[in-house]
Amino acid sequence: MTDVTLVTGAGGFIGGHLVKDLLARGEAVRAVDIKPEAEWHQVFAGAENRRADLREPGACAEAVAGVGRVYNLASDMGGMGFIESHKAACMLSVLINTHLLQASVAADVERFFFGSSACVYAAEHQTSPDVIPLREEDAYPAMPEDGYGWEKLFSERMCRHFTEDFGLETRVARYHNVYGPHGTFEGGREKAPAAICRKVAEAELLDRPEIEIWGDGKQTRSFTYIDDCVHGTLAIMDSDLSEPVNLGSATLVTIDDLVSIVEEIAGITLERRYKTDAPTGVRGRNSDNTKLRDAIGWEPNTTLRDGLEVTYRWVRDQVRARPAVALS
């Protein structure tokens, strides 16, 4: 077994935090992303940082050479506004997982982790804000979110069959709405917590006491702080769990609740304007963590209030650091 660990999508939000934790554990890390290094969310001098397009088979072969473990977090994705309007681009991420799995088998990789998503779940289970927490078996019969969700579910199945046919040990986690500092907070790919933190920060700094909320504010979600996500990811990789498992928080809140928490952190109250024709996704989504808790004793331990406070302070600093004209 080689001691080198590969993280793909390392220039992204979750990938950057994962690289940081792996380095802290003393592991040798090869960090790969398609973006120029200047655009990575976090860069660590202790890692072997590479730029590569992992949709290409040759790039995958080079990335896994001499590697013992692979964490595949690379995909073309964003918040609901992005994935609703870029379904083909999201689907093309299947090339990454396909070629990485093939390269991993050829390179005798010990273990392969795939970062999946709660978007694999059928919409029929998510039609009410008072949603019943989603269990892993609720992904079938299959009718995932169009585009992004189908790519994730198909890639999960590939992991399963590469284990069955080639003996590659695979692990799959279904992430539920991960948020935290050092993530995308503007530009169209940001997710709800980061977008709301940005809007509240702009309202605070510009003294404009209003906020636009996508949807009617009554849709519900659970949100997972990035540290909990990374710790759960590492635990799943080290476990004997060969089937996909939820990795999320079970604390269900409305989007209005989310806004209220960030308002409290910022110390302001805003007039709410609802954009009901904006993309909002399913009506309600929550994570059932029973399987992961029973198997390895893992549950998130960061409260939403605590996680949002760290996230808001970081986003506010980024907004404040913009050129003065951007805040005028």
Q: Nearest 10 degrees: CA dihedral of 144, 147, 150, 151?
A: -150
Which entry of 71, 148, 179, 312 is annotated as an active-site residue? 148
* Amino acid at site 285: R
Question: In this structure, how many other beta carbons lie within 10 angstroms of the beta carbon of residue 186?
Answer: 15
Question: Residue 210: is it exposed, middle or buried by C-beta count within 10 angstroms (0-12/13-18/19+)?
Answer: exposed
Question: How far is C-alpha 129 from the chain's CA centre?
Answer: 22
What SS3 state is found at 253? strand
Instruction: Examine the residue annotation and report whether 148 is marked as an active-site residue of this protein.
Output: yes
What SS3 state is found at 49? strand
Residues sharing a CB contact under 8 Å with residue 307, sequence separation 6 or more, in sequence order: 179, 180, 223, 225, 226
For the annotated catalytic residues, the residue numbers are: 148
